[in-house]
Structure formats: structure tokens, C-alpha cells
Amino acid sequence: MTVSRRTPGRRPGGPDTRGEILRAARESFADKGFAATSIRAVARQAGVDAALVHHYFGSKDELFIEAMALPLDPRVVAARILDGTREDLGRRIVAVFLGVWESDEGQQRMKAMLRSVVTSDEVARLMREGMTRMILEPVSQFLEPPDAKLRVGLIASHMIGVALTRYVVELEPVAAADLETLVDRISPAIQQYVTG
Amino acid sequence: MTVSRRTPGRRPGGPDTRGEILRAARESFADKGFAATSIRAVARQAGVDAALVHHYFGSKDELFIEAMALPLDPRVVAARILDGTREDLGRRIVAVFLGVWESDEGQQRMKAMLRSVVTSDEVARLMREGMTRMILEPVSQFLEPPDAKLRVGLIASHMIGVALTRYVVELEPVAAADLETLVDRISPAIQQYVTG
């Protein structure tokens, strides 16, 4: 292994320092999970000072979100979904989720994410924990018991399946349908999981 | 390229002849689609006589099914799904589809298939055409118009999404739920697409 002369020991932050912190974070979150990952350990692994990790990413939550490389902050997605009544929740879930996929950039990043999830156990673990903590748990607290978590999991499974068939497999007529038709058609199925 | 002394010109069928026919078939079905693929052209591509392709695979339908490498003949899946009333169709779809995934061998093969679909455009095209011809079209003819094909596409998207979250991503509590609970929970959402 060669070490650049410009970055001996703990680096003050070079052109790829941010990337190295993210790589170390991704590895730790996937291996140990969110709770057992510390900013200090990530910094050590990346060969930088913990203060630099805080400088680049702020909190552990934000480091985690950056490590997932999503096109949108999942906390923003959850907040948009939960902003309204329970009677319209099904429709908001479908509209917000498909909205993320409809832009060209969102679609590229979500496709790459979906491919990594399916081919890498590490990425699958990362996304599983991230989605659960930041979207599924807040949404399931909005639902009536008893099996709110299972129902939210099934909502997620349907939304991921629509994304897979529409944007990746391009199965017709799901791929060619306009967004409004899709939202109209899917919302009642999702709402049914909401009301239980 | 080297040619084995045992198989000069058109081969009578060696240990990997079947595999070579399948490779040629997969390529042609993915590139040109089902209708434009002929057994004669597949045989030529594989360097064997067309009679040998018929001997190994019977019809073009069967060659196509083998090329998709599914754990179960999709025509059998469609027949099981359609064997009953429209009022119970949602439940049969869920039970039959998840049944294919529940055995260890089925799960291994379906996982491999799902990974290939997501990472290879060729496999995605192959599966898209196969699923449409052999499962989605027969099932959509069982539904009332007007948008039966879209609704069947959304049923497929939900089922694929459940498979992805339960068996690949292992999202909880969908992954740990017992089969009966899942069938009970998902069937009403699917039935809703059936009745429109």
C-alpha cells in the first residue's frame, strides 16, 4: 500500500477523504448495524479525526443517510407521507414514492440502489435497517394496531414491486401507464393495508 | 477457437449440446423476442440440427420455458391460478406464487432469476415476454375489462415485491411471518385488483 506524501497519518481532508469516510461508514453500518456503529470507529477506519466526520456529515443519522446514497432524505419522504389524514395516507404513499422515481436522476439512483440491494447482502442489510428506522417505523406508528408493522412492510413490498416492474423490468402496461392512472389504481390497495 | 475432435461440424449431441442450445435460445428470445425466434435459427446458432432441438425440447414453447430456467412451468402456475372462481382468485394467486418460493430449491432458483432480471437487460426482456405470454395474459382474460391488463400487471408487481422483501432483502416482519398469515393479509389487496 502506498501513502501519498500530501496525506501522512491523520489527514485534514483531501479530495477523496469524504469518499473514504463514506466507504468506512457503509461497511460498519452494514456489518454492525446502526446502533453499534460509532462516528469515532468510522473515523479510525477511514484514518481521519472524528471531528472531520462531524464536519462533513453532522450527526450519525446524516452519515447513515449519505451512506445509503438515496436521491432523497428518507426523513423528508416520511414527513411528506405523514403530512395529512389517515384516510388519504394510501394515496400520499403512492404519490410520494413514485414521485421520487419519476425524475431522470431519481430513477438512475434508485435503479442503482435496487440493483445493489438484490446483488449485495451488505447493501441489503444497510437498506433494510435504514428503511425500517426512517420510513417504516414512523409510518407504522400512524396506523392502528395490532399488526401495523406487517401491514407497513407489505405496503413497502408493493411499492418496491411497482418500481421494479415499471422502471427496471419495464413490464407493460405498467411501464407505459401515466403517473395519475397508476396512483388512482394502486392507492386503494395501499389504503386497505392502512385501514387494516 | 478450438473444436473438439469428437464434435466436428453438426454434432449428434454431446455432453454440453443441450446447454449450448439453451444459450443460443436465450440469446435469440431476448434479442428478437418469442415470435421472431425460430427453432431452425437457434439450431444453426448452436451448431446442431433442428431435429436435435426438437428431440431435446419438443416445441418452441418448451424451449422458451427451459431458457427462462424457472423452478416450475409457468403454464402449470397459470393453470393452478385459474382453477376456481373469480371470487377466490386473489387468494389463489398469493398462495400459488408464494408456494413456488417457499421450498428451498424454488427459493434458490427464483432468487437467482430475480438477481439476473435486475442486473441483465437481456434476462429482463426474456422474463418480461415469458411472464406476459404465459401468466399475465391468461389471467387477464379471466378479469373483467376495461383495464384488466394493467390490474394484472399491478398484481404481478405486488407479488414480485413481496418475494423481494421476504426472501431477498429479508425485511421484517414480512420475512418472519408465517405463510398463512401472509396469504390472509395480502389476498384482499390482490382481490381488489381482480374485481377492479
pLDDT digits (tens, 9 = 90+) for B170-181: 999 999 999 999
Indicate if B62 and B130 belong to the same structural domain. Answer: no
User: pLDDT tens across A12-50, in order?
Assistant: 556 688 999 999 998 888 788 888 889 999 999 999 999
Q: Could you tell me which chain B residue has the CA closest to the CA of A127? A: B169
Chain A residue numbers touching B30 (CB-CB < 8 A): none
Domain end: B29, B45, B68, which one? B68
Cβ distance A124 to B150 less than 8 Å, yes or no, reads no
Nearest chain A CA: its distance from B115 CA (Å): 6
**B68 neighbors B132 (Cβ within 8 angstroms):** no
Q: Domain check: are B30 and B122 in the same one?
A: no
pLDDT of the residue at A172: 92
Phi-psi region of B88 (alpha: psi -120 to 50; beta: other; left: phi over 0): alpha
Asked if B58 and B83 sit in the same domain, the reply is no
Same domain, B133 and B154: yes
Is the confidence at residue A187, as pLDDT, over 70?
yes
In this structure, are B59 and B79 located in the same domain? no
Please tell me the predicted confidence (pLDDT) of residue A105.
82
Domain that holds residue A148: 74-195
Q: What is the mean pLDDT of chain B?
A: 87
Give the pLDDT confidence score for residue B176 in this predicted structure.
96
Measured at the CA of A122, the angle between CA A116 and CA A123, to 5 degrees, comes to 35
* Structure confidence at residue B14 (pLDDT): 64
Task: Give me the pLDDT at residue B3, please.
Answer: 41
- Partner-chain residue, chosen from A117, A158, A169, that has the shortest CB–CB distance to B158: A158
A31 and A55 share one domain: yes
Whether residue B154 has pLDDT greater than 80? yes
**Residue B78 shares a structural domain with residue B131:** yes
Which of A118, A159, A186 minimises the CB distance to B115?
A: A118
% residues pLDDT > 90 (chain A): 51
> How much is the pLDDT for A13?
56
For the segment B98-113, what is each residue's pLDDT rounded down to a tens digit? 998 888 888 888 888 8
Determine which of A180-189, B1-10, B117-126, B155-164 has the lowest per-residue pLDDT on average: B1-10
**Nearest-CA distance A124 → chain B (Å):** 5
Q: How many Å separate Cα A7 from the centre of its chain?
A: 33
pLDDT digits (tens, 9 = 90+) for B3-61: 444 444 455 556 688 999 999 998 888 788 888 899 999 999 999 999 999 999 998 88
Looking at the structure of chain B, the number of domains it has is 2
Q: How far is B194 from chain A (nearest CA, A)?
A: 11
Interface residues of chain B, partner chain A, Cβ below 8 Å:
114-115, 117-119, 124, 127-128, 131-132, 136, 147, 149-151, 153-154, 156-162, 164-166, 168-174, 177, 181, 185-186, 188-189, 192-193
Count of residues in chain A: 196
Chain B residues with CB inside 8 Å of A153's CB? 165, 171-174
**CATH number, position B136:** 1.10.357.10
- CA-nearest of A92, A99, A103, A85 to A142 is A85
Question: Could you tell me how many CB contacts below 8 A there are between chain A and chain B?
Answer: 135
**Of A131 and A183, which is predicted with more confidence?**
A183
- Do A81 and A168 lie in one domain? The reply is yes
